[in-house]
Amino acid sequence: MKAVVKTDFHLPGQESKYTGKVRDVYTLDSGYLVMVATDRISAFDVVLPEGIPCKGQVLNQIAAQFLDLTADILPNWKVAVPDPMVTVGWRCEPYKVEMVVRGYLAGHAWREYKAGNRTLCGVTLPEGLKENQKLPHPIITPTTKAAEGHDEDISKEEIIARGIVPADEYEQLEKYTLALFQRGTEIAAKRGLILVDTKYEFGKKDGKIMLMDEIHTPDSSRYFISEGYEERLAKGEHQKQLSKEFVREWLMAGGFQGKEGQKVPEMTPEVVNGITERYIELYEKLIPTPFQRAESEDIAARIEKNILNFLNTK
């Protein structure tokens, strides 16, 4: 299969197109957003040179199912999934923060802790923690949403002081974040997984807070395999995980962390195929039905046709 790394549609009522790290987002005058999950892959806030076949479909379908499974907690932006790689939803006014929530000391949080930092985004962490250890309780470590370049850690106090989010609305975002994380944790546990950390994005539509974008996908979340977790922790071994962290680790082993002057290691067909298989593995761990590759002669043409068919019924 070929990877879809770019789309260039001209949709009825299209006002603009935004190209993100992974998604192409079309804004329509009807109030809809058409979000295409491409096969681009990013790490360290850099889009890597090769696309990953099936990745967009995996992300889109996992997110769509989790949006449905959490719709009782708060409303979300999703209206329809007209194609395996596309979600159509309501345009919202986004909050300019990402709500990162962590139940375990891993990834970026561990790297900060290992460097001697005991306060992360205004949250104080206890001494003596080990990598991948469960935290006493989930913590929220927000980041700013950068239009370009790296997102930056920020504290709740700074978000409110700078007027990025009003205090009462931020309190509500925290409540929603913890409730969503709890739901994701429960679903993951039923599948033999541990939801380690994840991020949520929120916006407002008609004065109501809504959940936006993706949720509980391998791009936005980190999962450990439950079986053997305690033994690996006790021995100081790497946890078996299903997330994009393995891509970051592969890049770091090749001397790349997104810093100036560094070069991405060669993404051979074997590397690309391996990443595809890891994404499918996570899908089949999280979703109780086997993954069906949506193969087509011309995937971009299929996507455009399915979007137009949906819009023509509205």
pLDDT digits (tens, 9 = 90+) for 197-253: 999 999 999 999 999 999 999 888 999 999 999 999 999 999 988 778 788 889 999
Close Cβ partners of 175 (under 8 Å, ≥ 6 residues apart): none
**What's the rounded Cα separation, in Å, for the pair 77 and 87?**
9
Instruction: Give residue for tokens 């979703």.
Output: 287
How many CB atoms are located within 10 Å of the residue 100 CB? 22
**For the chain, which residues make up each domain, given as ranges?**
94-243
Close Cβ partners of 231 (under 8 Å, ≥ 6 residues apart): 237
Angle, helices 269-286/245-253, rounded to nearest 10 degrees = 160
pLDDT higher than threshold 90 for residue 297: no
Instruction: Give residue for tokens 């890597």.
Output: 48
User: Which residues, in sequence order, are bridge partners of residue 37?
Assistant: 23
**What's the rounded Cα separation, in Å, for the pair 2 and 101?**
34
Query: What pTM, to 2 d.p., does this model score?
Result: 0.89
CATH topology of domain 94-243: D-amino Acid Aminotransferase; Chain A, domain 1 (3.30.470)
Confidence of residue 150 (pLDDT cuts 50, 70, 90): low
Cα–Cα distances (Å) from 53 to 4, 61, 63, 135, 274, in that order, read 7, 14, 17, 35, 10
Nearest to 141 by CA among 120, 169, 158, 110: 120
**DSSP symbol at 72:** T
Confidence of residue 147 (pLDDT cuts 50, 70, 90): low
Helix residue ranges per DSSP H, the chain:
55-69, 107-114, 156-161, 167-190, 229-235, 245-253, 269-286, 299-312
Please count the helices (runs of H) and the strands (runs of E) in the chain. 8, 17
**DSSP symbol at 148:** S
pLDDT digits (tens, 9 = 90+) for 74-126: 999 999 999 999 999 999 999 999 999 999 999 999 999 999 999 999 999 99
Residue 21 near residue 45, CB atoms below 8 Å: yes
Give the pair of three-digit tokens for residue 72: 């009782």
